Amino acid sequence: MKKVFISTSIPYVNAAPHLGHALEFVQADAIARRHRSLGDEVFFLSGSDENSLKNVQSAEKLGMPVKDLVDKNCQKFFDLKEVLKLTFDDFIRTTEERHFKGAQKLWKVCEKDIYKKKYSGLYCVGCEEFYKEDELVDGLCPEHKTKPELIEEENYFFKLSNYQDKLQKLIESDEIKILPESRKNEVLSFIKSGLQDFCISRSSERAKGWGIDVPDDPTQKLWVWFDALSNYINALGYGSNDESKFNEFWQNNEFKLHVIGKGIIRFHAVYWPAMLLSAGISLPKTLFVHGYVTADNQKMSKSIGNVVDPIELVNKYGCDGVRYFLLREIPALGDGDFTYEKFEKRYNSDLASGLGNLFSRTIAMIEKAGLSNDFEIQPNQQFIDEVEAIKEKINNRYVYFNETLSNVWELVSFCDKYIEDEKPWEINELMMQKRIFSNLIYSLKNISGMILPLLPETSEKMRKQLGEKDGKFNIKKGESLFPRI
């Protein structure tokens, strides 16, 4: 048993959540559930980023107070906990007092690396980041394809250049491990190009008075990323009167994992570790960097009108139908595409006609044979070996969720072929039927355990219908796992 800290990034709440947010939440939840199933003590954190200038501008467009906007949209993000069956232990809002205290304390302990200067730069509000001219693509932000705004101000800067060599060594040596390798190389390339000090405040005037005051200088607000990144430790009590959880799950813990999207890797792999080094605080250990969910091969965008609402999707197809698509169809560390046609094809082939059909027909055959009560299983060696082989594959690469589910479905196909080869409906001898059903129940029991972190509702339905107690199975047919659509 070990202590495990797992976090999602905290999304801007200038709008409602979309399917890309759901991907990150479900991936992080699957990792958290997996560690709990292994007996680890997990602290799983999510939250909302509410101090962004994006939120201010969105509220202005809607003609409503910023607080009302962030309260409304924050609730929609929090509601995903029930909708997607997420198991985060805490949800921190960056407008909470505990976050203000932690962010301001972090600033104070980093003050040796903070200075003030006048400057001008190209700022993308979407990224909440300054860009150099040569980082733009045709004069536009590479992430949002919008023209950055020229900002001229006097603000505070952080001496990132002080930490270039240290950061390079940490990442090259995998002391901070970045998955996949391609993202690690991307970060190293950025570091080797020469790190420049970065701006960590904005004028209160430009921020419209929204955000966290710079300590001892109310004319300035903390830059949203300096503020937001500290959420990971603030939720653990950093800056409070009781920092025991911070010491337990962060300072003295070797397993700290951030699940983030590829668009914010620079903040988590460069700026965040540098801030922690300056503050003398322990570093994260692993960055799990996923890609994007596109919609019909286009990035989801409100302006295009192709944003997919995960709540509507769950209402139509069920929680585990959505979780399965996100974890099976979208590469764990890459981009993947969503269309309703792809979703329904995957749902019907893998879930309704795959696991769902295998489970329902097995239970129906057992009930028809009159073997559903106090059924004791004695699987043969072939099935034991097959199950153990699948478990070994899964254990070695569990966080590659698409591969894991593909491995589990190998066992589903193995059982389907076994049924077709053995044809238990043509067998009259009870002992022969028992042998066949014993192998199938053994497989389904293990499938239920394998998919628990990924498809928790389905796993629970299977467990209840199998009715295992004291080594015997009292099988009772229940609702269909996945009705065909």
Instruction: Express each pLDDT in 411-433 by its tens digit.
Output: 999 999 999 999 999 998 999 99
Confidence bin at 303 (pLDDT 50/70/90):
low
Q: Which of 129-143, 144-158, 165-179, 396-410 has the lowest mean pLDDT?
A: 129-143
Instruction: Choose among 334, 340, 299, 350: nearest CA to 454.
Output: 350
Residues near 312 by Cβ (< 8 Å), separated by ≥ 6?
A: none
Handedness of CA 258, 264, 268, 269 (dihedral sign): positive
Residues near 276 by Cβ (< 8 Å), separated by ≥ 6?
A: 282, 283, 284
Query: Which residue type is seen at 229?
Result: L
Report the pLDDT value the prediction gives residue 126, as an integer from 0 to 100. 66
Enumerate the β-bridge partners of residue 150: 122
Confidence bin at 302 (pLDDT 50/70/90):
low
Q: Which two tokens stand for residue 399?
A: 């966080």
CA 278, CA 275: separation in Å to the nearest integer? 5
More confident residue, 393 or 302: 393
Enumerate the β-bridge partners of residue 153: 119
pLDDT digits (tens, 9 = 90+) for 30-71: 999 999 999 999 999 999 999 998 899 999 999 999 999 999
Q: Average pLDDT, stretch 355-378?
A: 96
pLDDT at 128 over 80: no
Domains of the chain: 340-473 (1.10.730.10)
CA 460, CA 483: separation in Å to the nearest integer? 17
Q: Which of 85-94, 296-305, 474-483 has the lowest mean pLDDT?
A: 296-305
Contact of 128 with 221, CB cutoff 8 Å: no
Query: Which residue type is seen at 328?
Result: R
CA 385, CA 481: separation in Å to the nearest integer? 27
pLDDT at 120 over 80: no
Residues near 365 by Cβ (< 8 Å), separated by ≥ 6?
A: 424, 425, 437
Report the pLDDT value the prediction gives residue 133, as an integer from 0 to 100. 75
C-alpha distances in Å from residue 26, one per residue of 84, 208, 235, 250, 319: 7, 35, 20, 23, 10
Handedness of CA 347, 348, 352, 357 (dihedral sign): negative
Report the pLDDT value the prediction gives residue 129, as an integer from 0 to 100. 72
Catalytic residues: 18, 21, 124, 127, 141, 144, 299, 302
Q: Average pLDDT, stretch 361-379?
A: 95
CA 38, CA 265: separation in Å to the nearest integer? 29
Pairing relationship of beta strands 472-473 and 375-376 according to DSSP bridges? antiparallel
Contact of 352 with 483, CB cutoff 8 Å: yes
Q: Which of 13-22, 206-215, 297-306, 434-443 has the lowest mean pLDDT?
A: 297-306
CA 326, CA 319: separation in Å to the nearest integer? 11
